[in-house]
Structure 1
Amino acid sequence: MDILRFATAGSVDDGKSTLIGRLLFDSKAIFEDQLEAVERTSRDRGTEYTDLSLLTDGLRAEREQGITIDVAYRYFATPRRKFIIADTPGHIQYTRNMVTGASTADLAIILIDARKGVLEQSRRHAFLATLLRVPHLVLAVNKMDLVDYSEERFEEIREEFTAFASKLNATDLTFVPISALHGDNVVARSENMPWYGGSSLLHHLENVHIASDRNLVDVRFPVQYVIRPHSATSQELHDYRGYAGQVAGGVLKAGDEVMHLPSGLTTTIKAIDTFEGRVEEAFSPMSVTLRLDDDIDISRGDMICRPNNQPKAAQEIEAMICWMADGLKLQPRTKLVIKHTTRTARALVRDLHYRLDVNTLHRDETATSLGLNEIGRVSLRTTQPLFVDEYARNRLTGGFILIDEATNGTVGAGMIIDSH
């Protein structure tokens, strides 16, 4: 079975945590003691129903305030597919948390309260999802029970959001009317909305096609670790030299000709090993060990690719940055550490071109710095070449993080737009 990673986003009180709780409950992915604890807490609060949002809001501050702060990851499976859920916060002050949760997502569910309609936060979440190149968007119009399951209200919201989405780079957009509290159209089709002809939310999650979302054309294999079993007992293991890492793009097969960067030397793949044993081919996002026919000086941070299809070796990078540091601002001449795939280098912020208002999409070209949760376009200069692709082409080789050398903390996440 393949794995679908999806993130949920929405304004405060739109029901994200309740929706995830409903998915977990109806798919029987929670234990009896968890359910008993949720029922007990619900009774203590005086609610007349079981508050399923308590299954995901794990922080005490979240439970007390009734909001989501941290990115909560949950796992469940159906007979068709495995799922990893990132429950991301809705508040604007937690933009960095949403970027973290959505950066690896195959699909994003944006919740909208049927009573309130498309809000500023809804537009912001949709923009961030498309900025992060999440391939599939689902607009879940929640709390349909509070508008008497009105088809007219659902169509109003769909038309308004479709008009806004036309300004974004949204490749796949689906609308589902739901009631997370009562389970309408979440796991099973709702009898309360016979006018809706689409599938339930879980059915869509089970069947959305994600295999073609990954770049299977450009072979990219960042080397993470060189495996040499020095204490091997047999001669075969003593001579073993493998290059471990995660396939970031393309398809690798035994017998394929590959090139090593930065040396430019070419060789052939002898074999592909995994923890379970040898495989004939590897593709993203598999973690494998490559064995090559020739002994080449390869180390962590190097890249293996095709001779006629190479990433750019760039030191000048144009990128969109989401700044995540509290108390430290990104300004021109700021010196940071950049981590791109498995390569780490020092970087200098050469220029800040503009700061982007994620609510209005307005570009402030007079901005002199980026603060916490702000997004802008910058130019970076690195001390050594990075082997990069544009983020629109490959999210793995087009993304990076920025680290503050003084604290060793992650202060920014970037998406490469162009490189030289």
Structure 2
Amino acid sequence: MDLLRFITAGSVDDGKSTLIGRLLYDSKSILVDQLEAIERASKSRDDGEIDLALLTDGLRSEREQGITIDVAYRYFQTPKRKFIIVDAPGHIQYTRNMVTGASNCQLAIVLVDARHGVVEQTRRHSLITSLLGIPHIVVAINKMDLVDFSQDVYSDICIQYADLAKKLNVKQVTYIPLSALNGDNVVDRSVAMPWYEGPTLLEHLETVPLTNDFGVQLPGRFPVQYVIRPQTAELHDYRGYAGKITSGTFQKGDAITVLPSGETSTIDAIEIAGTHLDTAEAPQSVVLHLSSDVDISRGDLIVRSDALPTSSPTVEAMLCWMDTKEFKVGNKYVLQVGTSRTRCSVREIAYKLNVNTYEETEDVDSLKLNDMAKIVLRTAQPISFDAYQQNRATGGAILIDETSNVTVGALMLIGEA
């Protein structure tokens, strides 16, 4: 059965947590004890209704403030598909949490409050969604019950967002008018909006095509996580390289190149839990055996020799800055791509993106929390990567503070600088 990972994004109070709660509630994906718990927690409400947002807002501070702070994950399935839901915070202060949650998603639901239309966080989250290469966007125009289910309001918001999508070069956009509080067009079709003839949200989630999810058709990439070298008399000739195939396919007999060293060899065997295979593909975790002894350690990248990635000590990237400390030209960090880590310095901030107008501001020498910019990094040793738009697995990276070991930036690698 297919698995779809999707994220809900949008501004504060657009109803993201309530939408997810309604989706789980109406699809009968809530356990009895969960339902009893939120019923008890909802008793203080004046209207006596169940607070469906409590299904995802589990932190005490979230319930006290009525906002989502941390990313929440929920799992459910229907007869047609399995789902992983990522509920992302809407407040600008927690934009970095949204980036983290969206990085592995195939679809994004961008909620828009029908009363307010497209706002700053709508633009910010849509920009992040496009930079992260999420192929499908659903614009869920929520709270239609508060605008009398007006088709004109729906149409106006569709026009607003279509202009935004054109600027971001986003092509796969679906518009759905709904009311998460009442359940209109979430799982069941709304009788209050007979003018809408498209699918409900769940119908769309069940049928949206999932193509090339794990990049099986992409070039073979295998970041080495661990070198297996048992020190026993029975296995004295055993040397295996364990890791997860992040994209592509590997076959026994393939010519491979180890990066960054450039050493070459061929695959002698592919092993999964003691069973030998002739072929393995993403996202399988395997142990590779090579026909010759090559100096390989954690952080090296094994690739098929007929499709080499870019290797360079300078790299251009789009950055989402995630720390309260300023990001400045000349600062030094640890850059991690897959399992590989190397020290780097900031050589240039090419421009900063304005999240409202998407204009590029040049002559910038520092960035603040949640800023997005195109930057150039200089690394201590060449790194091997693919452009993020071609291969998310080897084109995504993070920046780590050298002193605190905290992740301070998310990167979408573009190419050699």
Q: Is the 8 A contact 1:23 1:186 kept in 2?
A: yes
Question: 50-59 vs 265-274, which deviates more?
Answer: 265-274
Please name the residue that 2:78 is paired with: 78
Mapping of residues 9-408 of structure 1, within 5 Å: 9-215=9-215, 216-231=217-232, 235=234, 237-275=235-273, 277-326=275-324, 328-408=325-405
Q: Is the 8 A contact 1:319 1:377 kept in 2?
A: yes
Normalising by structure 2, we get a TM-score of 0.94
Alpha-carbon distance in 2 for matches of 1:116, 1:71? 24
- Inter-CA distance 406–112: structure 2 relative to 1 (3 Å threshold): same
Alpha-carbon distance in 2 for matches of 1:70, 1:276? 40
Q: Is the 8 A contact 2:260 2:383 kept in 1?
A: no
Deviation at 1:196, TM superposition (A): 2.1
Alpha-carbon distance in 2 for matches of 1:293, 1:23? 52
- Inter-CA distance 113–277: structure 2 relative to 1 (3 Å threshold): farther
Question: Matched residue of 2:333: which SS?
Answer: strand
- Inter-CA distance 54–283: structure 2 relative to 1 (3 Å threshold): same
Alpha-carbon distance in 2 for matches of 1:108, 1:276? 39
Question: Matched residue of 1:162: which SS?
Answer: helix
Matched to 2:310, the amino acid is K
Deviation string for 1:136-189 (max 9, x for gaps)? Answer: 111011112222323232222112211221111213111111211122221233
Deviation at 1:214, TM superposition (A): 4.4
Q: Is the 8 A contact 1:221 1:246 kept in 2?
A: yes
Question: 72-81 vs 396-405, which deviates more?
Answer: 72-81
Matched to 1:363, the amino acid is E
Question: Matched residue of 1:17: which SS?
Answer: helix
Deviation at 1:303, TM superposition (A): 1.3
- Percent sequence identity is 56
Deviation string for 1:178-215 (max 9, x for gaps)? Answer: 21112222123333333222222112212222232543
Alpha-carbon distance in 1 for matches of 2:147, 2:285? 48
Alpha-carbon distance in 2 for matches of 1:266, 1:392? 27
- Inter-CA distance 245–115: structure 2 relative to 1 (3 Å threshold): same
Matched to 1:57, the amino acid is D
Question: 202-211 vs 400-409, which deviates more?
Answer: 202-211
Question: Matched residue of 2:130: which SS?
Answer: helix
Q: How many residues align?
A: 416
Matched to 2:293, the amino acid is D
- Inter-CA distance 206–270: structure 2 relative to 1 (3 Å threshold): farther
Question: Matched residue of 2:14: which SS?
Answer: coil
Deviation string for 1:311-368 (max 9, x for gaps)? Answer: 1111101111111112x21111101111111111100111122222212212222322
Q: Is the 8 A contact 1:135 1:213 kept in 2?
A: no
Matched to 1:359, the amino acid is N
Alpha-carbon distance in 2 for matches of 1:92, 1:279? 48
Question: Matched residue of 1:48: which SS?
Answer: coil
Question: 63-72 vs 284-293, which deviates more?
Answer: 284-293
Deviation at 1:308, TM superposition (A): 2.2
Alpha-carbon distance in 2 for matches of 1:56, 1:414? 28
Deviation string for 1:78-130 (max 9, x for gaps)? Answer: 22222221111111121111111111111110001122222222122111110
Q: Is the 8 A contact 2:103 2:132 kept in 1?
A: yes
Normalising by structure 1, we get a TM-score of 0.93
Q: Is the 8 A contact 2:165 2:171 kept in 1?
A: no
User: Which consecutive unaligned segments of at least 5 residues does structure 1 have?
Assistant: none
Alpha-carbon distance in 1 for matches of 2:370, 2:310? 29
Matched to 2:123, the amino acid is R
Deviation at 1:15, TM superposition (A): 0.7
Question: Matched residue of 1:45: which SS?
Answer: coil
Matched to 1:99, the amino acid is V
Deviation string for 1:381-405 (max 9, x for gaps)? Answer: 1111111111111112111111111
Question: 219-228 vs 283-292, which deviates more?
Answer: 283-292
Deviation string for 1:266-302 (max 9, x for gaps)? Answer: 3332333334954443333332222233332221111
Q: Is the 8 A contact 2:72 2:87 kept in 1?
A: yes
Q: Is the 8 A contact 2:223 2:246 kept in 1?
A: yes
- Inter-CA distance 365–239: structure 2 relative to 1 (3 Å threshold): same
